Structure 1
Amino acid sequence: MKRYGMVIKVKPEKLEEYKKLHQNVWPGVLKTIKECNIRNYSIFYKDGYLFSYYEYVGDNYEEDMKKMAQDPVTQEWWKLCKPCQEPLETRKEGEWWAEMEEVFHVD
């Protein structure tokens, strides 16, 4: 299992829309998340930033992320969410959410 933390900005005028979307995430999106070996997934908000945390339990992260990106229901979901978000300028090439470095963990 590997833990992932990611961050992105949320547009202030879109915050309530983003929260409302996530009160009723589509069942097909949740199904794909699970099928792509993501567990314990949370999104937090603070001062204009969204922070996501999840645990990956599969053995081929790149393939699972490709599978998720190719899912038509997930693509439609992202079309609703992306206009609410503003990627960090410091993100790596190809990233939407910027992956964070884990600097501490304790069980």
Structure 2
Amino acid sequence: MGSVSGQTDDTIKRHIFLCATPTTAKCHTDGTGAEVWAHLKRRLRELGHGDPRTGIHRTKADCLRVCERGPTALVYPDQTWYHELTVEKMERIITEHLVGGKVVEEYVNPQPFLQIEKEQG
């Protein structure tokens, strides 16, 4: 399957979406998301993955609709949600998950939509 960029789905190994600029104070307000985003960009470049053609994509999101325990990130195709990110946690996610292919289980948010379900329930 092709895309506008000419890449095929099999050239995308991992794609991380990071909530770096929250739209609500319920997520995080201390600038941590911006710090984590800057670290992600810098480290991917340093590791030779600054160009998405290497198979690792990154997208900065304003909101992933998980408004607690932020900053949060979602990694595809694994559908892995990470929460309460810091630069230190992101470093492990970069090296172990994005590059190494192994989920960092201790940072996983297994129920990212629990608060939304509680509010609607």
Greater strand proportion: 1
Same fold (TM over 0.5): no
**Normalised by the size of structure 2, how large is the TM-score?**
0.29
Greater helix proportion: 1
Larger radius of gyration: 2
Structure number with higher relative contact order (C-alpha < 8 Å, ≥ 6 residues apart) = 1
